[in-house]
Chain A
Amino acid sequence: GAGVSQSPSNKVTEKGKDVELRCDPISGHTALYWYRQRLGQGLEFLIYFQGNSAPDKSGLPSDRFSAERTGESVSTLTIQRTQQEDSAVYLCASSLGGTSGAGELFFGEGSRLTVL
């Protein structure tokens, strides 16, 4: 499709289970971002990929969180041993990268994670 695609759109899991969230960025976008949005709040930066550079992981809240990206394509965010406080909408965004239109991120519709 033309936009950023995320799956699953909704995920309900039990505390302690691992989850994987997938993001398909817009074709040709070299930069990919993961953000987290708790209910009624703004977005929190998690991780950023730019081309073949080492990812900026400074926003990951704990070592239970990790993400990978295959080249300039699909990314997967993995949360191990989920906790109830991990419940949130996880948003992926892509952009052209560099400084041109730097803040114009194109967001997917998010994956809503509920940890019981």
Chain B
Amino acid sequence: GESVGLHLPTLSVQEGDNSIINCAYSNSASDYFIWYKQESGKGPQFIIDIRSNMDKRQGQRVTVLLNKTVKHLSLQIAATQPGDSAVYFCAENAGGTSYGKLTFGQGTILTVHP
């Protein structure tokens, strides 16, 4: 899971394995959640999103799970590849007019070994 401070959680996996990255969010009023991927020296890149009326959403090789009871979000990456190595951020939005006004978690570093 994600934590406060400079020591980001890390996850190391072998190429081909499945990866699961976890996130605990804070605002029970949040109704929209997003995962972003950030490679070194680049801006974050959108991966997948989910609204609070869903508990699961699938994309290409990625699945997001939402458990509103315990305010937990996870990102599953199937058949992880070296190109998936990056920092992954979860973000939440409490709705209203500013849907892109997001609160980001601290990030998890994913390292994929060939």
Contacts and interface: CB of A to CB of B under 8 A. Distances in A.
B85 interface: no
A102 B32 contact: yes
B100 A109 contact: no
Interface stretch (B55-63, B71-79, B101-109): B101-109
- Main secondary structure on A side of the interface with B: loop
A56 B105 contact: no
A43 B100 contact: no
Interface residues on A, range: 20 to 34
**Chain B interface residue number, banded:** 20 to 34
Contact of B89 (A42, A50, A95, A99): A42
Contact of A43 (B6, B8, B46, B89): B89
A43 B44 contact: yes
Q: Which 7 A-B pairs have the closest CB atoms?
A: A107-B43, A102-B99, A42-B104, A103-B34, A43-B104, A40-B6, A104-B46
B93 interface: yes
Interface in B1-28: 6, 8
Interface string A89-116: 0010101001101111111111000000
Contacts of A110: 43
